[in-house]
Amino acid sequence: MALTRDQVAQRVAQELQDGYYVNLGIGIPTLVANYVPEGKEVMFQSENGLLGMGPFPTEDEVDPDMINAGKQTVTAVTGASIFSSADSFAMIRGGHIDLTVLGAFEIDIEGNIASWMIPKKLIKGMGGAMDLVAGAANIIVTLTHADKHGNSKLLQKCTLPLTGVGCISKVVTDLAYIEIEGGKFHLKERAPGVSVEEIIEKTAGELVVEGDIPEMKFS
């Protein structure tokens, strides 16, 4: 069975290490905050200028001046800090964020990512996505392996306008965990009940399958 959105987030959350500063993109990446492994402390960065983002406020705590990058009202956890956009992107572009998780439309074997623009559709802008992919050393991309017509999103070469080049090495899809190295996709894990054959069939870019591919484990 393909993973649910929450299971994708759960799998990504297994990569969280104690003491990590983490930036989560909009969509599935946001759900990762719900699955921080017990006993591990992480701080979430919101690129509008908040390190230590907490849960949504109660009605009484709502503050129009306390929002996240998705413009939702949020709170700050104990130990949080607030700063300017320039400081925020110095953290991001200076490589100080331990892990960035973001969604994408397409990924290719060179580690290129397309996530911000579909030609002829309404263009809204890249926000902080280009900064995040250029600045972070450790990025996990989440996306569905194929679109609803079965067309693969893991390609030999991205077809949509790029967000960044050669910057992605880890991908969690609804079917697999894949790493990118040496101009190839490498299958590392498969979703429980999903066959290697199905993953091969739905991966358009060159995919290396070595040995037995274990199923993902969820506690």
Would you tell me which residues interact with other proteins (CB under 8 A)? 46-50, 55-60, 62-67, 70-74, 76, 82-86, 88-89, 92-93, 112, 117, 122-131, 134-135, 161-166
Non-local (6+) Cβ contacts of 75 within 8 A are 53, 54, 55, 56, 57, 61, 66
CA distance 102 to 204: 21
Residues 159, 147 contacting (CB under 8 angstroms): no
Q: Which residues contact 216 (CB under 8 A, 6 or more apart)?
A: 3, 11, 177, 189, 190, 191, 192
For residues 39 and 79, which CB has a smaller minimum distance to other proteins in the complex? Answer: 79
Nearer to other proteins, 7 or 100 (CB): 100
Q: What is the token pair recorded at 30?
A: 């946001």
| Shortest separation between residue 110's beta carbon and other proteins, angstroms | 10
47 is catalytic: yes
Measured from the CB of residue 79, what is the shortest distance to other proteins in angstroms? 15
Catalytic residue (choose from 15, 38, 47, 210): 47
Q: How far is the CB of 164 from other proteins (least distance, A)?
A: 7
**How many of the other CB atoms lie within 10 Å of CB of 91?**
18
Give 126 or 196: the residue with its C-beta nearer to other proteins. Answer: 126
Q: Nearer Cβ to other proteins, position 88 or 142?
A: 88
82 φ/ψ sector (left φ>0, alpha ψ -120 to 50, else beta): beta
Enter the DSSP assignment of 59: G
Nearest distance from C-beta of residue 148 to other proteins, angstroms: 23
Beta carbons of 179 and 170 less than 8 angstroms apart: yes
In whole angstroms, the minimum distance from the beta carbon of 43 to other proteins comes to 16
> Which CB atom, from 125 or from 150, has the smaller least distance to other proteins?
125
86 burial via Cβ count (<10 Å: 0-12, 13-18, 19+): exposed
User: Could you give the residue numbers annotated as active site?
Assistant: 47
